Chain A
Amino acid sequence: MGEMRGFLRSDGRKGIRNVIVVAYLVECAHHVARRIVTLSDDMDVHLIGFPGCYPNSYAFQIMTKLCTHPNVGGVLLVSLGCESFNREALRQAVAASGRPVETLVIQQAGGTRATIEAGREAVGRLKAIAGQTPVAPMARHELVVGTICGGSDGTSGITANPAVGRCFDWLVEAGATCIFEETGELVGCERIMSDRAVTPELGAEIEACVQKAERYYTIMGFGSFAPGNAEGGLTTQEEKSMGAYSKSGSSPITGLIKPGDIPPSGGLYLMDVVPDGEPRFGFPNISDNAEIVELIASGSHVILFTTGRGSVVGSAISPVIKVCANPETYTRLADDMDVNAGRVLEGKATLDEVGAEILGLVEAAAAGNRTVSEALGHQEFILTYKSFEPVGPACLPTRAA
């Protein structure tokens, strides 16, 4: 394995990839954008986008944060022309970040064929400019790592999740930024969690955001609990929560952020993914990739994805490392997994050993090695409507101080 290195961006952040994103700004431009990406036939040209025609400030904020993410080296915006997405404001934000950006408007470019052709040429130009980005050595404290669990079962909370927790503890100790999330999957843990907050005021904010999640999910009629969770031995939301919670490790909780907020310093952050106000747009996160996108929008270079039942997903923009909790699942899906944490159940490895293996893979990814899902070409992406209020001053005590 080589040394960690980063593509140096104008805001001082470093990226571990130098991806060109092709972003459709409404579903009507999706096909054209996808063809541009497919015909580019390049592992570092990724497709992202927002399907809606109605404006949404959350979606605009997330798209902006993604297009200016440290792992992104250049951006091609693909617009149909009549949608309400503010393509010019997004273009200006990307240009202000020092990245090359081009916009194609299908209605002005001559339709599908002409836009695809123009898009392929644009990707070539963007790649050439992005290829000149300076590369600098990267240290552990510069890493931003997010974690999520998906397809959880009764083994997730015993093997993969606490192993990720160990990795998080070591990263936080080294000054890195770690983000865990899904307050709906922390229902039942709010007291224990608030005790770990660096200030009592932050603790109160954490309890309030879990209560908000519980209320929101109750109105939706379903907890964050899928049938596969039950088949895998989990019985209740709070049982799943206790297992999910162990991903956070044992560091103090430094702050509470919302999707797209960039943590102001190193430490452990909880991301509140449940919208504010009365439920308006449906389920908070319709599938795991919706959460992964939010973790990336808040700056995550790498995502640690723990799974018991066996998820196969990756993501656009940031590599996903898959940590398999269940040894039987690992046997079935070994080609999709980076880590076999199920060895802990078989008495073949300790949590510390698996945690160290995960940390090693984070550093390998930051040295340029492809993760398993990345090498398989997984680049899932989903972004839907939401609405949030900004976090209150108690949520980021280190910044306030």
Chain B
Amino acid sequence: MSTPISPLILLHPDDNVLVVRAAIRAGDALDIDGTPVTAAQDVTVGHKLARRALAAGDKVLKYGAPIGSMTAAVDVGGHVHMHNMKSDYIASHTRQVVGGSEGGH
């Protein structure tokens, strides 16, 4: 079944990320600014994909405003999240920070 509307939205013309508005499955064919991209993984609603290739240190723009910096490179259509991006203000934390399940301290 084809998706009636694009699963990605651009919030501001200056942005270099797109927001997922309908869940994406690995293997889905995506169109990112005219570039065909195959989704590498499942991505749920509310997450971000790169609108263009980004390098470590690049500012990430959403709502036309900087929301942090890349810590690793990502290809067009790649998932942009905590594994490759960080705050320029206060570090974000996950549940594992306290009483973690990582098997150590």
Which chain A residues have a beta carbon within 8 Å of chain B's beta carbons? 153-155, 157-158, 187-189, 192, 214, 217-218, 222-223, 225, 227, 229-230, 232-239, 242-243, 246, 308, 326-328, 345-347
Q: Does B40 contact A (CB under 8 A)?
A: no
B residues within 8 A CB of A189? Answer: 65
Can you report 12 residue pairs joining A to B where beta carbons are below 8 Å apart? A158-B21, A192-B65, A223-B89, A227-B95, A233-B47, A234-B46, A235-B87, A236-B88, A242-B63, A246-B63, A345-B21, A345-B45
- Bound together, the chains give a CA A187 to CA B68 distance in angstroms of 12
Q: Does B90 contact A (CB under 8 A)?
A: yes
A residues within 8 A CB of B20? Answer: 154, 233
Residue of A nearest to B87 (CB): A236
**How many B residues are at the interface, by size bracket?**
35 or more
* Contact (A239, B45) CB under 8 Å given A222-B93, A230-B82, A230-B92: no
* Contact (A155, B92) CB under 8 Å given A235-B81, A239-B62: no
B residues within 8 A CB of A233? Answer: 19-20, 44-48, 81
* Contact (A237, B89) CB under 8 Å given A192-B65, A242-B65, A327-B45: yes
Assuming A154-B46, A237-B90, what are 13 further A-B pairs, CB within 8 angstroms? A154-B20, A154-B45, A157-B63, A188-B89, A192-B65, A222-B93, A223-B93, A225-B90, A235-B60, A235-B81, A236-B86, A239-B68, A345-B45
CB distance from A62 to the nearest CB of B (A): 27
Residue of B nearest to A344 (CB): B21
Which chain B residues have a beta carbon within 8 Å of chain A's beta carbons? 4-5, 9, 11, 19-23, 44-48, 60, 62-63, 65-68, 80-82, 85-95
CB distance from B3 to the nearest CB of A (A): 11
- Bound together, the chains give a CA A188 to CA B69 distance in angstroms of 13
Other-chain residue from B65, B86, B90 in contact with A187 (beta carbon distance below 8 A): B90
Residue of A nearest to B95 (CB): A227
Total number of residue pairs linking A and B with CB closer than 8 Å: 114
- Bound together, the chains give a CA A246 to CA B66 distance in angstroms of 15
CB distance from B21 to the nearest CB of A (A): 4
- Bound together, the chains give a CA A362 to CA B93 distance in angstroms of 35
Residue of B nearest to A225 (CB): B92
Q: Are B45 and A238 in contact (CB under 8 A)?
A: no
- Bound together, the chains give a CA A155 to CA B47 distance in angstroms of 8
CB distance from B81 to the nearest CB of A (A): 5
- Bound together, the chains give a CA A157 to CA B88 distance in angstroms of 19
CB distance from A228 to the nearest CB of B (A): 9
- Bound together, the chains give a CA A222 to CA B19 distance in angstroms of 25
- Bound together, the chains give a CA A227 to CA B51 distance in angstroms of 25
- Bound together, the chains give a CA A158 to CA B48 distance in angstroms of 13
Q: Are A242 and B62 in contact (CB under 8 A)?
A: yes
B residues within 8 A CB of A308? Answer: 46
Q: Are A326 and B46 in contact (CB under 8 A)?
A: yes
Residue of B nearest to A243 (CB): B63
Other-chain residue from B11, B46, B89 in contact with A238 (beta carbon distance below 8 A): B89
- Bound together, the chains give a CA A327 to CA B85 distance in angstroms of 26
Q: Are A238 and B68 in contact (CB under 8 A)?
A: yes
A residues within 8 A CB of B63? Answer: 157, 242-243, 246
CB distance from A345 to the nearest CB of B (A): 4
Residue of A nearest to B11 (CB): A158
Q: Are B95 and A223 in contact (CB under 8 A)?
A: no
Q: Are B94 and A227 in contact (CB under 8 A)?
A: yes
